[in-house]
Structure 1
Amino acid sequence: MKLSIKKILIVLIFFVAGNYVTYGQSYELGSPSKDTKLIVKVNSEKELVYSIEQKGSPILAWSDLGLQLKKKVIGRNIRVQKQKKRSVKQQLAWTLGENSTITNHFNELTLFCQSSGIDFQVVFRAFNGSIAFRYIVPKQTQLVSEEIQKELSTFNFTDNYTLYQYNQESVFTPLAIDSLIKTCDFPATLVSQKYYVSIGEAENNSYTKAELTKGKLANSLAVAFLKDSVRLTTDLATPWRTVSIANNAIGLHQFSDLPYRLSKRFGDTIPTWIKPGKVVRLSLNTQDGITGIDFAAAHNFQYILFDAGWYGPEFRSASDPTQIIPELDLHRVIQYGKEKGIGVILYVNKVGLRAHLDEILPLYKKWGVAGFKFGFVDGLSQEGIVWLNNAIKKTLDYGFILNIHDNYKPTGLSHTYPNLLTQEGIRGNENAPDAYHNMVLPFTRFLAGAADYTYCYPNSVKSFANKLLVSKGQQLALSVVYFSPLQAIFWYGNPADYTNETEIEFFKYVPTVWDESHYLQGEIGKYISVARRKGTTWYLGNATGFSDWEGNLSLDFLTSNKTYKMTIFEDDETKGIRKRVLELKKGYQLAINLKAKGGQAITLEEVNR
């Protein structure tokens, strides 16, 4: 059938208009407060790009989106087929966090796209101060045997920023973005003259470990795979990439629960057997196990830990985690712990986990073990992360709390698997971090989630001088400043040696999860003050870097018309701990006069008259 000239013109107009919508139109998404704005468009080269503004100021210029496959590129020669928007506002109860309630309020835009014959989606969420995005690639015939070789996401900043570069358990090196030679872990913190920015990651349960590398443009960062590519064997949702913006350093703390907000929620109720708490590590023999349980019970700890070696040399395949070394009567210790209300956590290295996990899960349940500590896992490759995700779920199904050590870093999966109380992925106290490092951590690594810092507090016999480069007061303060539902205290110490009861008294009181938290004052690398509430009692941690800190803290977070007893645990002139007590009310100005590398821990208890 022949078409008339008029019909041909109509068809051409429709075709041109359709392509104009695809290649010319921009898609906007604002945060609930309208202060944070995302713009997405298909540029003149038919590439999908995005930009971010904060209160009208550009943060990211046009930055790339997409995925590089072996033979095709997702995100080039693109057609946006449709868009979908929604808004969500939730109040989520969360008893294992820094606050007992998580506010999850965002606007969402999903673009349904086609590129290189492949259907995919890009999902964007706008929170107040944050933009998050991820790619969703459904399983398709043309993706059989395909893999993602590179993620094309970039972050092209409009200003000069200093990046606090680090990898896994390394130190932090502040440098200009354009001076970046190595890679940098998520979350990455950047500072300009105007803004503090965190680039983060959430819900990595089936991807590979990605890091940030220098981009092709000035002041630009790009996503780089650390170890391997990503196989597309099933429907894939990539991890969320997040960009969070604050006006000051302590403002970054409002985004520390963002990985939780972006991860699938376990359910409305956390199982009662998942109990946070403090743990003490013990020597591998029966008597120290019994003594350690008595110590834990007397000092309001909830767990003891038998670390590497309880079933033999951890890296030898011949070491069997179903067998116990002769020096340790583990069954007697576990039973004694139950009588005292103290749980026993067992360490298992990746060699033993890979060979015996399905065997030891029911076995340890029969023994009465409370939890696992995974050691030297692979948190760097897709295969390792998929294995870990499955292993975490298995420990949840069997009723074990979990602590994952070494290179593994959180991405919010504790919201999906609440038994995952903590993980390492941090340069902790056993690596002898200095005061500068300690003052960088609250504004960097801790924005990803809980971390097991492994405190090496001195006792009456050993000072741990080669490990402890800050004051005792700072060690006390950090137990408030650093968040971890499972806190390892006295990492290298023998419980029998802790006769310095006055110095360690604060550790009896401090909780590990909180009802309310506030970052009061702070600057990266210099000082920090954090206030947290459990019930009606407040706890404060104040600490410094390499310089003295003098100032005032207003205690406006206290309840009006209430009197509080404030107990201060602080450094004295003899390198010990001094205790002071006074009464006060809301609005009290607390004078801060801390020496370099020092700190103080404070309790504020309501006085009933």
Structure 2
Amino acid sequence: MKRMMRRLLPVLMAVVPLTVCAQKVYELKDASGRVQVNVSVNDKNVEYSVLHEGDVMIDHSPVSMKLTDGTAFGVNPKVRKVNRRSVNETIYPPVYKKKSIEDRFNELTIDFKGGYSLVFRAYEDGAAYRFVSSLKKPFMVESEQAVFCFPNDPKLFVASPKGRMNEGKKDPFYSSFQNTYVETALSAWDKEQIAFLPVLVEGKNQKKICITEADLLDYPGMYVKHGDSGFSLEGTFAAYPKKVVDEVRGLKGVVKSREPYIAKVEGATAFPWRVMVISKDDTELLCSDMVYKLATPAQFTDFSWIKPGKVAWDWWNDWNIYDVDFRAGINNETYKYYIDFASRFGIEYVILDEGWAVPGKADLFQVIPEIDLEELVSYAKSKHVDLILWAGYRAFEKDMDRVCKHYAAMGIKGFKIDFMDRDDQHVVEFNRKAAETGAKYKLLIDLHGTFKPTGLQRTYPNTINFEGVHGLEELKWAEPGTDQVVYDVTAPFIRMVAGPMDYTQGAMNNVIMKNFHAVYTEPMSQGTRCRQLALYTIFDSPINMLCDAPTNYMKEEECTKFIASIPTVWDQTLPISGKVAEYIVMARQKDGIWYVGGLTDWNARDVEVDLSFLGKGEFKAEIFKDGINADRVGKDYKREVIRVSADKKLKLHMAPGGGFVVKITSVEETSGVN
């Protein structure tokens, strides 16, 4: 397990540990002094705690790691030396929600006898720690102790995997990571459940702690469960796969047995960061950069070929185009129609989802006779559109390098990879290898059917999006009671803290809750039309799907033109107001043009947007807002254009399940807007 370490200038400082009885306490604070980490080392173990402005967020929590040979990191620890450093630099990400990121932290590294270290970092908005091994020989990790203790019984927002059926029972480590959140007291949460990360915890003074992980490249992903004592959460991990069987037409690998350890390690390595993002106000979670900052930087510098953008997508709408003189389906005529649609509205990509390769073969070189890929690539190129191909993970894994080389040479621009449905070490390493191989052949990689992002998008910026989200596809088969509207105003405060979301918005058939029902072939969304438009501004998604049928979009040209104009990466991201599980208002800016989006739950809501972020000048605001009857007919909306300025406040009403989106441009640049 080889890890590329970040090159930063260390600032060594003298360490004066505070001696308390038989333990040493090392104190670490961020530059502002808001966040404080205390690391206690005694003869038995290592514990840490995290405070925010004096409030205890994480109480004394032990950390350790057990190897299969009996070695244990963090047990009976013997400190060898301690170093500190301070870092203050700027990151310029090639694909992100901001043009630049201020990376400022203080770091404490404790080296222990026995070939390992613990590294702690304190940021203004949280803390993180990781184990680092300096052992030179390969070893296996039996277990890791990652505990998060709380001073009282906190409220949680958790998403528990339902677990797919495996060998006659539900396997919690076999999951699509696409579940809604449960809001519960920790003490009331089912002790038999586990939750995938991120999870959100409410601390003192209604502050929030978002627990997740970063720089996960070749180690199993972490879940949390009830801790053994007190009010605590404890990490748990899928064991290393022993026997994997191909299922679902050979497209996914299902684990039938596992080893008595969680990870194989080649030797010296840095393990994933355990991350705690702390917010005083819920809106601070909407633009957190901590996961990105903690990830390993890219080792290549030419990002010019990485092109974010929109995608005309076929699968959600079940290829259901109409008013045409050919049979719609997985064939060249249908995809030329999609390409024509994309070209007309300036949409950069068309995806060919499942079905272009021969079903049941799991062989990406066997293309169905109805599809001529070379012809489609040529046709798309003539229309200034590029193509992306869907692939099942096992089919992609079988011959990854040859597949990428072949299709890159043909002119394909990327792969959407699906059905991983696990985050044990094997699949985590697969995701990294897919990203690496994609970069080798200058291909975009969209990791669908997988776990939350942990910073791979920094290490390989061509890894442009991730699913691991209860996206719009869930409404094709939703069970009664599924509440997508509340999920939409919850996930940005939790799942989006980890990174971008392949949610696949853009439905044109919009209904209120009582009229919603699951339809696989002609699906609909919950909530209003303007809600769907607003999602393009609220959600981070550098490669963003238009999920509905081109025919439907062309019948709604006003909305379609607006969606197509919205950027997918940004120069600035600015949270305006919001509360987890209730509502969100955000502003984003790209090339001097501002977009403001709002979402509400099932409660109608009036909001006031302070426009002081606009600066000097006079501006035109193009507004899409819920129509007066949107609480009865979800498609009802109103578009208007008004003059605004920085000293004004914009008042907007959202219907139940509604939203709004505003495009703000300087008057000089919008003389043609009407």
Q: Which whole-Å CA distance do the structure 2 matches of 1:536 and 1:350 have between them?
A: 40
CA apart distance, 1:497: 6.0
CA distances 1:20-79 after superposition (whole Å, capped 9, x unpaired): 899522111110101111111113x52111111111222222110111223232211110
**Conservation of the 8 A alpha-carbon contact between 1:456 and 1:464:** no
The answer to whether structure 1 residue 451 and structure 2 residue 521 are counterparts is: no
Identity of aligned residues (%): 27
Q: Which whole-Å CA distance do the structure 2 matches of 1:83 and 1:200 have between them?
A: 26
Map 1:343-354; keep pairs closer than 5 Å: 343-354=386-397
1:472 aligned partner: 529
Structure 1 residues 81, 331: CA separation in 2 closer, same or farther (over 3 Å shift)?
Answer: same
CA apart distance, 1:378: 5.2
The answer to whether structure 1 residue 536 and structure 2 residue 568 are counterparts is: no
Please give the secondary structure, in 1, of the residue aligned with 2:399: helix
2:224 aligned partner: 212
1:332 aligned partner: 375
**Conservation of the 8 A alpha-carbon contact between 1:169 and 1:407:** no
2:277 aligned partner: 244
* Stretches (4+) displaced over 6 A: 18-22
Q: Structure 1 residues 573-582 or 210-219, which shifts more?
A: 573-582
| Structure 2: gaps (5+ residues) | 1-16, 161-176, 241-261, 320-329, 476-482, 519-523
CA distances 1:293-341 after superposition (whole Å, capped 9, x unpaired): 121121121100000110122xx3x242112211112211111111222
CA apart distance, 1:407: 2.6
Q: Which whole-Å CA distance do the structure 1 matches of 2:301 and 2:409 have between them?
A: 25
The answer to whether structure 1 residue 292 and structure 2 residue 335 are counterparts is: no
CA apart distance, 1:606: 0.6
Structure 1 residues 391, 471: CA separation in 2 closer, same or farther (over 3 Å shift)?
Answer: same
Please give the secondary structure, in 2, of the residue aligned with 1:271: coil
1:568 aligned partner: 623
**Conservation of the 8 A alpha-carbon contact between 1:503 and 1:576:** no
Q: What is the aligned counterpart of 2:199 among 188, 199, 202?
A: 188
Q: What is the aligned counterpart of 2:646 among 566, 586, 595?
A: 586
CA distances 1:153-211 after superposition (whole Å, capped 9, x unpaired): 21111233111110421111011122332112221111244311111210100101211
Output the amino acid matched with 2:603.
Answer: S
CA distances 1:123-169 after superposition (whole Å, capped 9, x unpaired): 1111112111000112345xx5x422221121111233111110421
**Conservation of the 8 A alpha-carbon contact between 1:292 and 1:495:** no
2:165 aligned partner: none
Q: What is the aligned counterpart of 1:148 among 141, 149, 153?
A: 141
2:540 aligned partner: 483
Q: Which whole-Å CA distance do the structure 1 matches of 2:649 and 2:18 have between them?
A: 63
Structure 1 residues 269, 140: CA separation in 2 closer, same or farther (over 3 Å shift)?
Answer: closer
**Conservation of the 8 A alpha-carbon contact between 2:553 and 2:560:** no
Map 1:388-403; keep pairs closer than 5 Å: 388-403=431-446
1:93 aligned partner: 92
CA apart distance, 1:351: 2.5
Please give the secondary structure, in 2, of the residue aligned with 1:78: coil
The answer to whether structure 1 residue 521 and structure 2 residue 577 are counterparts is: yes
CA distances 1:215-237 after superposition (whole Å, capped 9, x unpaired): 12322111111344112332232
2:72 aligned partner: 73
**Conservation of the 8 A alpha-carbon contact between 2:332 and 2:372:** yes
CA apart distance, 1:106: 0.6
**Conservation of the 8 A alpha-carbon contact between 1:22 and 1:80:** no
CA distances 1:502-556 after superposition (whole Å, capped 9, x unpaired): 2323212100000001110111111100100011110011111121112311111
Q: What is the aligned counterpart of 2:150 among 149, 154, 157?
A: 157
Q: What is the aligned counterpart of 1:226 among 234, 238, 251?
A: 238
Q: How big is the alpha-carbon RMSD for the aligned residues of Structure 1 and Structure 2?
A: 2.2
**Conservation of the 8 A alpha-carbon contact between 1:378 and 1:385:** no
Structure 1 residues 362, 95: CA separation in 2 closer, same or farther (over 3 Å shift)?
Answer: closer
Q: Which whole-Å CA distance do the structure 2 matches of 1:414 and 1:607 have between them?
A: 36
Q: Which whole-Å CA distance do the structure 2 matches of 1:351 and 1:125 have between them?
A: 38
1:279 aligned partner: 311
**Conservation of the 8 A alpha-carbon contact between 2:390 and 2:416:** yes
Structure 1 residues 19, 533: CA separation in 2 closer, same or farther (over 3 Å shift)?
Answer: closer
Output the amino acid matched with 2:274.
Answer: R
Q: Which whole-Å CA distance do the structure 2 matches of 1:470 and 1:509 have between them?
A: 22
1:419 aligned partner: 462
Output the amino acid matched with 1:203.
Answer: D
Please give the secondary structure, in 2, of the residue aligned with 1:513: coil
1:172 aligned partner: 181
Please give the secondary structure, in 2, of the residue aligned with 1:437: helix
CA apart distance, 1:354: 2.1
Please give the secondary structure, in 2, of the residue aligned with 1:304: strand
**Conservation of the 8 A alpha-carbon contact between 2:103 and 2:293:** yes
Q: Which whole-Å CA distance do the structure 2 matches of 1:331 and 1:454 have between them?
A: 27
Please give the secondary structure, in 2, of the residue aligned with 1:25: strand
Output the amino acid matched with 2:493.
Answer: F
Q: Which whole-Å CA distance do the structure 2 matches of 1:268 and 1:34 have between them?
A: 35
Please give the secondary structure, in 1, of the residue aligned with 2:337: helix
**Conservation of the 8 A alpha-carbon contact between 1:265 and 1:415:** yes
Q: Structure 1 residues 245-254 or 130-139, which shifts more?
A: 245-254
| Structure 1: gaps (5+ residues) | 1-17
Q: Which whole-Å CA distance do the structure 1 matches of 2:621 and 2:302 have between them?
A: 33
Please give the secondary structure, in 2, of the residue aligned with 1:66: strand
1:512 aligned partner: 568
Structure 1 residues 595, 147: CA separation in 2 closer, same or farther (over 3 Å shift)?
Answer: same
CA distances 1:85-121 after superposition (whole Å, capped 9, x unpaired): 111111111241111001111111110012xxx3201
Q: Which whole-Å CA distance do the structure 1 matches of 2:194 and 2:308 have between them?
A: 34
Q: Which whole-Å CA distance do the structure 1 matches of 2:295 and 2:308 have between them?
A: 21
Q: Which whole-Å CA distance do the structure 2 matches of 1:68 and 1:162 have between them?
A: 31
Q: Which whole-Å CA distance do the structure 1 matches of 2:357 and 2:225 have between them?
A: 41
Q: Which whole-Å CA distance do the structure 2 matches of 1:459 and 1:270 have between them?
A: 41
Please give the secondary structure, in 2, of the residue aligned with 1:478: helix
CA distances 1:238-291 after superposition (whole Å, capped 9, x unpaired): 110111211111022342x21110111115845211000000113421112212
1:4 aligned partner: none
Q: What is the aligned counterpart of 1:499 among 555, 568, 574?
A: 555
CA apart distance, 1:390: 1.5
1:323 aligned partner: 366
CA distances 1:353-386 after superposition (whole Å, capped 9, x unpaired): 1222122111102211011111112541112211
Q: Which whole-Å CA distance do the structure 1 matches of 2:280 and 2:302 have between them?
A: 35
**Conservation of the 8 A alpha-carbon contact between 2:216 and 2:272:** yes
Q: Which whole-Å CA distance do the structure 1 matches of 2:376 and 2:470 have between them?
A: 31
**Conservation of the 8 A alpha-carbon contact between 2:287 and 2:573:** no
For normalisation by structure 2, the TM-score amounts to 0.82
1:26 aligned partner: 25
Q: Which whole-Å CA distance do the structure 1 matches of 2:290 and 2:591 have between them?
A: 24
Please give the secondary structure, in 2, of the residue aligned with 1:26: strand
**Conservation of the 8 A alpha-carbon contact between 2:506 and 2:533:** no
Paired residue total: 578
Q: Which whole-Å CA distance do the structure 2 matches of 1:22 and 1:66 have between them?
A: 22
Output the amino acid matched with 1:370.
Answer: K
Q: Which whole-Å CA distance do the structure 1 matches of 2:146 and 2:586 have between them?
A: 34
For normalisation by structure 1, the TM-score amounts to 0.91
Structure 1 residues 378, 543: CA separation in 2 closer, same or farther (over 3 Å shift)?
Answer: closer
2:488 aligned partner: 438
2:174 aligned partner: none
Higher-Rg member (1/2): 1
CA apart distance, 1:494: 4.1
Please give the secondary structure, in 2, of the residue aligned with 1:426: coil
Q: Structure 1 residues 122-131 or 587-596, which shifts more?
A: 587-596
Please give the secondary structure, in 2, of the residue aligned with 1:152: strand
Q: Which whole-Å CA distance do the structure 2 matches of 1:368 and 1:554 have between them?
A: 46
